[in-house]
Amino acid sequence: MGLGLATVLCVVRHACGYVCAESQPGQGSVSSVYLPAAPESVQRQQEDRAALEDLRGTESILLVEDQDPLRESLCEILQELGYTVLEAEDADRAEQIACCHKDISLVLIDIAPPSGFVNHGPRHEGSDFIQKPFAPQVVAQKLVQLLDGVS
């Protein structure tokens, strides 16, 4: 009743559901809440997270990314996968970190300058490429591939 019922109705409608209330004198009231089933995308995300468990690592990765939100997101993904992440926002900071940490197994770097132009020319031997945007599972698979020498 009152504000509580209004709040419930607002939350349920926001979730694309509905509330059905029935009342009969002397028998009380029954309120039923109907919500849609979880969309396939949510179920797929849960399955992807379970698949990531098989793609865990323990190595140290130097992450070089100039966009703070993307760097933070990638750092979180890599840490959840078990990696030790050293973060750098630019090449100068990456060089400083690399000089102090000799146990870096892999450098993950954004090769596109701020203008968005990507040089698709020859890459250095031992390098690989992941096209943005990418899913966490794609990154995890590529890291296992590179770090474990799997082709």
Instruction: Indicate whether 60 pLDDT > 90.
Output: yes
Q: What is the pLDDT of residue 103?
A: 92
- Stretch 43-61: mean pLDDT: 77
**Do residues 49 and 23 share a domain?**
no
**Do residues 81 and 11 share a domain?**
no
Tell me the per-residue pLDDT of 87-113, one tens digit each, with 9 for 90 and over.
999 989 999 999 999 899 999 987 765
Q: What is the pLDDT of residue 61?
A: 95
- 3 — pLDDT class (breaks 50, 70, 90): low
Instruction: Indicate whether 134 pLDDT > 80.
Output: no
pTM exceeding 0.75 = no
**Do residues 51 and 20 share a domain?**
no
**Do residues 23 and 96 share a domain?**
no
Angle made by CA atoms 112, 118, 119, in degrees to the nearest 5: 120
- Stretch 114-143: mean pLDDT: 66
Cα distance between residue 51 and residue 125, in whole Å: 30
Q: How many CA atoms lie within 13 A of 56 on its CB side?
A: 9
**Do residues 27 and 101 share a domain?**
no
**Do residues 81 and 128 share a domain?**
yes
**Do residues 85 and 28 share a domain?**
no
Residue-by-residue DSSP string for 4-49: HHHHHHHHHHHTT-EEEEEEETTTEEEEEEE-PPPPHHHHHHHHHH
Q: State the residue range of the domain holding 14.
A: 2-34
**Do residues 133 and 104 share a domain?**
yes
**Do residues 30 and 45 share a domain?**
no
**Do residues 90 and 20 share a domain?**
no
CATH of the domain at 92: 3.40.50.2300
Cα distance between residue 58 and residue 76, in whole Å: 14
**Do residues 85 and 15 share a domain?**
no
**Do residues 107 and 137 share a domain?**
yes
Domain count, the chain: 2
Query: Which tokens is 50 given?
Result: 């379970």
